[in-house]
Chains A and B, each alone.
Chain A
Amino acid sequence: MARFDFMRLGVKPFWNAPVGGNYSFDEHVLNDASEEVRWFFQCPEAGIITHLGFRYDSGSHSVGGGGPAPTYRIRLSSILGDGTPSTTPITSQTFQGDSSWDGTWRWIELIAPLQVTRGEFLAAIIDYSSGTIGSNNYSQFTTKINSARPNLGAFPYGSEVTTTDGRFSEQIVFAYKTPFRTYGWPIVDLEGTPVNSPEQVALRIWLNPAFGVTWRLAGAQIMGRLANKAGRSFTMLLYQGSTLLLDVTVDADFNSTHQDVIADILFDGSLPDLSFGTEYYLAFMPEETDTNFDLRVLEVPAPIDMTAFPGGPAFYYATRATSGAPWTLEKTKRPMVNLIIDDWTGVSA
C-alpha cells in the first residue's frame, strides 16, 4: 500500500476551523434603508446559480415592535477594484420575511439564473427594497458564526454595513445553489447534544470507489467535549455494518481541559484494510452514564446541501441508543470529525 503519512482527508466543514468552542450565530439587524449585509466569495465550479440562501434569524414581527418586516432585496454583484460590490445587480430577487421564517434557512429564487465560471469572484448583498423600515419594522439575518476564539479569515468574508463597512473575519453563513449542487456554508444550526453510555454518535463514512482500492484509517481529529468532569472516558469505534473493526478507549482526563477541544485520537493495534465504496461508521461511545460526551455537529437545510461541504453528502451524522441497535441517520447533519488516513492504495499501485 502507499503510505499516506497521516495526511488528513479534510471533511471538516469549516474552512476556517477549528475555532474555540461555544459556537453561536451572530445576526445583523437591517433596520435602516442604508444598511446592507454582504458576503464575498469565489465560485468553486462553473454552474448556473438559481437561488441564493441565508439563515433568517427573526424580525420585528417576532422579537421587536411587532410590525411587519419590510421587503428586502438580495442580489449578486461583481466586486469593484476597491473591494466594494458594484451597485448594479447582476441578478436579484426581493423577499419579505415573517415569523414562519424565524431560525430557518431561506432559499430565494433569482429572477434570472446566472451562469458563473470556476473561480469567479462575486458579492451577495441583502439590502432594503420597499415598505416601512425602522425600529418596529425589520428583519435580522445571520451573517456569521461567533466562537470563543476569533477567526482570522480574510477571504471569503462578510461585512455588516451600517455607517461603516464592518468587515468581519469570522466564518460566514451564506450559500448559493445550482439545480443540482449547493455551494458555500448553508448552516442552519449548530449543536452539540451530550450523550452518555450506552448511546453512540457517529460519522457515517463512504469513500468513492474510483479513488482507489483500499485504505486504512489511523484515527480522527474531532472537535467537541470529551467529558464534562474528571474520571470519565469514551471509546472511539469503527464499524462495518455490525462488525466492529477497531476501537480505542480514551481517558477523558488525557486532555488539556473538560471544555471543547480539538483532539487527535488514534486507534491502537493493527489497522485493517478498508474498501472504497463501502460504508463505515466512526462512532464515539461514552463509557459512563454521566460522561456527557459532546461532539460538535452542524446542520444544513436538506441532504443536497451537504454538497457544499468537503466530502459531500456521503458523510453525515448517525446516532443510536446502544451498540447493536440500528443507526438513526441524520443526513442533514455533519459532526466535526476529520479522518486521519494511514494508507491509501490507488488502483495503479
Chain B
Amino acid sequence: MAHFEHARLELMPVLSAPVRSLVLSDFSFIWAVGSKIEFIFQVEEPITVSHLGFAYAGAANLPPKQRVSLQGVDPSGQADGVTITQQIYEPPPAGMDTWKDQFIWVPVPPASVSRGQFLAMVIEYSSGLVNNSNYSTYYSYFVGTSSSRGVFPYTADNPLGTRIKRFDRPIFGYRSVTKVYGFPMFDIEELEYSAPAQKGMAFTLDVGFGDFFKVAGAVLQIQPTTSTNQGFAMVLYQNQTELGRVAMDTDWKQTSTFIDDRIYQLLFDEATLAQLSFGQQYILAVVPLFVTTGMRLTTSVCASNLEVGGFPGGPNMYLVERDGPGQAWSHQIAKRPLMDLIISEWGAPLEERVGPHMKLTPKYNDPHFVQHADDQIENNILEIPEGVEPHEFPGVPIGNALESYSGYDTVEVFKDPDVARSIEFLIHPEQPLEQLKFLQWDPYENGTFEIVFRLRAAEGSATYREVIRYVRVILPP
C-alpha cells in the first residue's frame, strides 16, 4: 500500500469549522418589496438544473408570492438581474406552515449550467401583500458563537434595506434530476447519549479508488461529559466486527465545559492498522465507556440521503446509531456527522505497483538478494542479473532473504556505515528479520545511500555481524 501521509479526505461538511454551537441563522427576511437573498457560488459540474432549494424558516401570517431564480453575477459580486431560470412560488400561510424548518425544493424550467460558472441563486419578493406582518424568513447561513471569517461561496441579504455580504457558510441547494449540489441542510443536531449507546458515521469509499486503505484516526466534532474519571472510545467497525479502538480518558481534554462541541483529533493505537477495502462499508463510532459518560456528537440534518450526497464524499457517509454492542445499527441516511477520516495508507493492487521509491541495490549483484529484496521500483532489465527472477513487490518482508543470506534472526538497519552506530542513523530498530519491510522511505534527496544491516545472531545475543547494502532513493520528478 502507498503511504498517504495522513492526508485527510475531508468529509466534514462545515467549511469553516470548527465553530461553536452551530446554529442556523433565520435573519434573512422577505418582508418588503425590495427584500432579496442571494447565494453567490460556482457550479460544481455541468448539469441541467431542475430544482433550486433553500432552508425555509417560517411564515408570518400570509406571506407574499416569491421568486427563486438563477442569475449571473455582476462585477460587484451581486446578482446581475439576467435570469437563467426561475419559478414563482407561494409559501403556505403561518397557520398551515408545512414548509417551516424544512429544506424546500422548487422545480424550475430546466437550465444548462457549466462547470465553474459563477452564478447567483436569488430569492426575492414577487407579488402580493408584504409588510412586517406578512413575510417569510429563511435559514440562509449558519453561524457559531464566534463567527466565521469570510467565505466563498457566500450569502448576501438585506434585512434592513442594506445589502450585507455574510461571512458564514451559506445554506442553499441546486440539483439535477439525479444529484444535489450546494449545502442543502436545514438543521444541526447535537446528539446526546451515554453507554451502552453508540453513534458514528458509516462510510464506504468507492471501489474504483483502489483496493485497500487504512484509517489512522479521525477529526471529530464532539463533546464528552464534564464529569471526571469518565472515558470514551473511538471504534472502527465492519458491521459488528471491531477492527480498531482507541480509548480516551475524558480528563485528557482541554476543556471541562459540556456546553460547546469541540474538535478532537484521535488516532488508533493498534500496532498494525486494519487493512480496509474500497467498496466495503465501515463504521467509525464514538462510544461512551460508562453509563455516566455523557457524549455529544454533532451532525448535520438534511431532508434525505439525496441531499447528503451534496456533501464531500457523497451519499455513502451518514449517521448510524445503536443501543449497544451487538445490536443492529440503525442507519440515519439523511444525517452526516461532523467527522473527517485521517487516512494513513491508500493502496493499489500489489501486482500493479510501479511506484517509488525504495530500492535495495546489491552492490555485488548478489542474485539471491536481488531475487528477494523488497523493491518498490519497476523492474529494470539492466539491473537484474541474467537468469534471476524480477524484483518482488513492496510489502513483502525481506527477512527471509536476509536470513538465508546471513543466517541471523534479528536485524537493525543503519544508514551510512562510516559513522558510529548512532540512533541518529537508525533506519529500523532491532526486530525479527521476518518483520523487516521497506514500505516507507522518505524521498528527501537524490543519491545512493550505503546502509548497514546490523544482524544479531539470535534475539538477545551479543554477537553481531554487519552487512553492507546500498539504497537508492529516487525522487519524484
Contact = CB atoms under 8 A, between A and B. Distances in A.
A8 B18 CA distance: 17
Nearest to A314: B476
Given A18-B149, A153-B254, A3 B4 contact: no
Interface stretch (B58-66, B95-103, B207-215): B207-215
A33 B356 CA distance: 50
B267 A118 contact: yes
Contact of B152 (A20, A153, A255): A255
Interface in B429-477: 429, 442-444, 476-477
B88 interface: no
A44 B45 contact: no
Contact of A5 (B153, B166, B312): B312
Given A210-B2, A253-B76, A10 B9 contact: yes
Interface in B65-82: 73, 75-77
Nearest to A307: B442
Contacts of A161: none
B42 A208 contact: no
Main secondary structure of the interface of B (DSSP, over half): loop
Contact of A118 (B248, B271, B477): B271
Interface in A6-44: 6-12, 15-16, 18-21, 40, 42-44
A145 interface: no
Contacts of B76: 230, 253
Contacts of B165: 255-257
A268 B116 contact: yes
Main secondary structure of the interface of A (DSSP, over half): loop
B237 interface: no
A10 B40 contact: no
Given A169-B255, A311-B5, A260 B149 contact: yes
Given A21-B149, A179-B425, A82 B228 contact: yes
Contacts of B151: 256, 261-264
Interface stretch (A129-137, A190-198, A341-349): A341-349
A347 B267 contact: no
B444 A304 contact: yes
Interface residues of A, number: 106
A7 B10 contact: yes
B161 interface: no
B152 A254 contact: yes
A335 to B, nearest CB: 15
Interface stretch (A92-100, A271-279, A283-291, A321-329): A271-279
A310 interface: yes
Interface string A148-191: 11111111110000000001110000000001110000000000
Interface stretch (B129-137, B346-354, B383-391): B346-354
Using C-beta atoms within 8 Å of the partner chain, give the interface range for chain B: 35 or more
Nearest to A152: B18
Interface stretch (B104-112, B257-265, B319-327): B257-265
Interface in B13-66: 15-16, 18-20, 40, 42-45
B196 interface: no
Interface string B144-181: 00111111111010000000011100000000000000
Contacts of A83: 249, 251-253
A65 interface: no
Contacts of B347: 210
Given A2-B209, A342-B45, A209 B150 contact: no
A271 B147 CA distance: 34
Contacts of A219: 42, 116
Contacts of A261: 149-152
B355 interface: yes
A245 to B, nearest CB: 14
A271 B115 contact: yes
A79 B9 contact: no
B268 A118 contact: yes
A253 B77 contact: yes
A1 B207 CA distance: 11
Given A7-B10, A117-B271, A257-B167, A269 B116 contact: yes
B206 interface: yes
B280 interface: no
A210 B355 CA distance: 5
Contacts of B191: none
Contacts of B295: none
B223 interface: yes
A15 B265 contact: yes
Contacts of A89: none
A310 B206 contact: no
Contacts of A9: 7-10
Contact of A153 (B147, B150, B262): B262
Interface in A232-286: 248, 250-251, 253-257, 259-271, 276-279
A8 B9 contact: yes
A155 B454 CA distance: 39
Contacts of A303: 444
Contacts of B6: 44, 310
Contact of A10 (B7, B249, B266): B7
B421 interface: no
Given A7-B11, A209-B354, A307-B442, A79 B252 contact: yes
Nearest to A213: B348
Contacts of B353: 210, 347
A236 to B, nearest CB: 10
B105 to A, nearest CB: 20
B3 A208 contact: yes
23 contacts: A3-B314, A6-B44, A7-B11, A11-B7, A46-B271, A82-B251, A118-B268, A148-B149, A152-B20, A154-B264, A169-B262, A209-B354, A209-B355, A209-B356, A230-B76, A231-B75, A253-B75, A255-B150, A256-B151, A266-B44, A268-B114, A346-B209, A348-B208
Q: Which 7 A-B pairs have the closest CB atoms?
A: A119-B269, A2-B208, A268-B116, A10-B8, A346-B210, A210-B2, A8-B10
Interface of B: 1-11, 15-16, 18-20, 40, 42-45, 73, 75-77, 114-118, 146-154, 156, 165-167, 206-211, 216-217, 219, 223, 228-229, 246, 248-249, 251-255, 260-271, 273, 278, 309, 312-314, 340, 344, 346-349, 352-356, 376, 394, 423-427, 429, 442-444, 476-477
Given A118-B269, A169-B262, 11 more contacts: A4-B209, A20-B149, A83-B251, A169-B254, A206-B476, A210-B376, A219-B42, A253-B77, A256-B152, A262-B150, A311-B5
